[in-house]
Amino acid sequence: MTLEQQESVLLTQQRRGYHRLRFSDVLENEFVEHRVQRIRRRLLLIISAAVIFQLVYTALDLLLLTPSIGLSLLPVRAVGIAGALWAFFYCRRPQSPARRALLAYVAAYGLNGACVAVIINLSWSQGLVMPYDGLFLVLLFGYVLLGVSFRAVSTASWGVCGLFLLLGFLSTGGSATLGYQGMFLFCANVIGSAGAYLQEHGQRGAWLNLRLLDLARQRAEADDGRKLRLLAAASHDLRQPLNAMGLYAQHLLEQNQDPGVHRISSRLAVAVEQLSRLLQSLFDYTRLTLPGGVQAKLEVFALRPLLTRLTDETRSEACAAATELQLQCPDIWVRSDPLLLERVLRNLLSNALRHAQARNVWLHARVEQGVVQLEVGDDGQGLSEEQQGQVFEEFRQLANPGRNAERGLGLGLAIVQQLAQLLDHPLQLQSSLGAGSRFILQLPQADAGQWQPPAPAANALTGRILLLEDDPAGREALSGLLQRWGCEVWACADPAQALQCMAHAQPQVLISDYRLAATEDGLRAIERLREEAGLMLPALLITADIGADLQERCTRAHVTLLGKPLLPARLRQALAVLLPD
């Protein structure tokens, strides 16, 4: 049944009620399975208690009673123990049908109760007045601990008491003492049956509520899955033309030397970059708010190279803002996700440079009691206590009432908070008006490993590139830009055409879009092209759907992953590393 149909059946049953302790056939079967699973989880405890109960009384029989009476009772107790052990091994088998397992479980209870009734009457027949307290303990065990249905435990308990009274009547012919005992057991059964009814009624109601909650959870997960798929589709479909637009703008900027055209194309390139960053922030935050949208891949790495590269890349922005950027970091190794940690630090640095109005911005790392304190601070205008509670809110921009798009969407710190929670890195904000702000991230320190510095980037771009892109506009824009940079480019629309070009082109670098119109994706196409060449050619994979799984696949395949919209500077930097000197 679908989720909607299951919910309808459960709500219908909830409205009708279950005073007779019976669901519809479909729900009753599910409830029986649920009950059997609960019994199996505590089966060892229940059966162990029953066996210990019989063994203790067996020892007491042998120690306190005469040898003849004690030995005469021994076979009866052995039957009870054997029945309990048989029920244990039968019920714990996964292939045992649920209803038969319940029947065996209740039968073992009834058998042990019958053994107690027989033992009491055997003792009476041999002149020993044995109290019937043991039978009361059996009833208490069944009604309180057994955990079966009201009908099953009541039938077994009333049957055991009936057998006791029948044997007593046959052996004594009836007496006032037996009548008193029968009245006591009758009252005990009435109380126990009423309690079992109320207990099962409550269990059935709780089970219905749990099933409805589980369906609500499944529906929420299904909705999240649909949102993730919608996000991936929208991300790809929106970034595809935006990617081509950015490449065309860069191509126009480099090709045309007319001052007017150059000024317009420069503004167009800036506008495309702003739009791509805004879109990236929006998609990133949406993906972070969905369960499973982003998964952390923790690893041990050196912190200082990451911070050095990050400050070097940010220094031009700091110079443009007339801000001095400082870095202090000893040789420290940490355990984190380097990609997500870089995103956190990049957002914090960008926030400080754009909004703090500071003369100095610093990135400091130190170790305190085995914990790395990673601080991004500034000496800017600072934040009041009220503002400190607002800066992590979505779309909140304290100094941008006009919603200037150049200053972002107000999602940077919200993304930082989400990523810090995902990485399990506590984040603290210390600030006051006029005294700047300090964002402190706590990372677990790790033992030093081996780190290989990246190869220095080459200055010139010359080489043979095979480009695989099924979108005509994106293929034309990217190939034109690569040719403008001095590369020889073979642009192909599908993997079959790319395979045909391999022998003639003899490429030095492969570039492919991830989502292709063909049956295989871009990563698989790169693998086929490498097999055709017989070489492990350097490769770039371009996609709008940068997920943890794809990043892991690219890492295993030694493929560099770039996101859309593709920034020309980032592409040029990657090619400078991959192309031979």
Kindly tell me the burial class for residue 287, based on how many C-beta atoms sit within 10 Å of its own C-beta (0-12, 13-18, 19 or more): buried
CA 554 – CA 541 distance, rounded (Å) = 8
Is a pLDDT exceeding 60 seen at residue 30?
yes
Distance, CA of 125 to CA of 119 (rounded, Å): 10
Q: Give pLDDT, residue 404.
A: 44
CA–CA distance from 418 to each of 130, 293, 306, 365, 519 (Å)?
70, 12, 21, 21, 36
Query: What pLDDT does 76 receive?
Result: 92
- In contact, 565 and 239? CB cutoff 8 Å: yes
**pLDDT of 438 above 50:** yes
């005509």: which residue's tokens? 472
| Average confidence (pLDDT) over 542-563 | 81
- In this prediction, residue 282 has a pLDDT band, given cuts at 50, 70 and 90, of low
Find the range with the poorest average confidence among 418-432, 464-478, 543-557: 543-557
Q: Tell whether the model's pLDDT for residue 490 goes beyond 70.
A: yes
- List, for residues 334-358, the tens digit of each pLDDT value: 888 887 888 888 888 888 887 778 8
Percentage, residues of the chain above pLDDT 70: 86
**Choice between 297 and 301, residue whose per-residue pLDDT is larger:** 301
Chain segment 165-188, per-residue pLDDT in tens: 999 888 777 788 888 888 999 999
* Phi, then psi, of 325 in degrees rounded to 5: -105, 125
pLDDT above 90 (res 81): yes
Alpha carbon distance 128, 193 (integer Å):
31
pLDDT of 459 above 60: no
pLDDT score of 403: 40
- Which one of 106-110, 353-357, 512-516 scores highest in mean pLDDT? 106-110
Q: At CA 20, angle to CA 17 and CA 23, rounded to 5?
A: 60
**pLDDT at residue 406, as a whole number:** 45
Is the distance from CB of 87 to CB of 107 less than 8 angstroms? yes
Q: Is the pLDDT of residue 571 over 70?
A: yes
Across 493-532, b (16+ Cβ under 10 Å) vs e yields bebeebbebbeebebbbbbbbbbbeeeebbbbbbeebbee
pLDDT exceeds cutoff 90 at 153: yes
Residue 302, SS3? strand
The pLDDT score that the predictor gives to residue 90 is 93
3-state secondary structure at position 540: strand
Q: Is the pLDDT of residue 402 over 50?
A: no
- Average pLDDT for the chain: 82
Q: Which residue has the higher pLDDT, 423 or 395?
A: 423
Average of pLDDT values for 248-269? 74
Residue 410 has phi, psi (to 5 degrees) of 85, 25
Least confident stretch, 239-248, 282-291, 525-534, 540-549:
282-291
Q: Is it the case that residue 193 has pLDDT exceeding 90?
A: yes
Residue 440 has pLDDT above 80, yes or no: yes
Q: 38-52, 173-187, 525-539, 544-558: lowest mean pLDDT where?
A: 544-558
DSSP code for 406: G
Tell me the pLDDT band of 477, cut-offs 50, 70 and 90. confident
Write out the two tokens for 429: 């904000």
pTM beyond 0.85: no
Find all residues with CB under 8 Å of 16, minimum gap 6, and list them: none
pLDDT of residue 552: 80
Cα-only R_g, the chain: 38
Residue 331: CA count within 13 A, CB half-sphere? 5
* pLDDT for position 80: 92
pLDDT of 131 reads: 82
Cis peptide before 565 (omega within 30 of 0): yes
pLDDT the model gives residue 78:
94
Specify the higher pLDDT residue, 411 or 538: 538
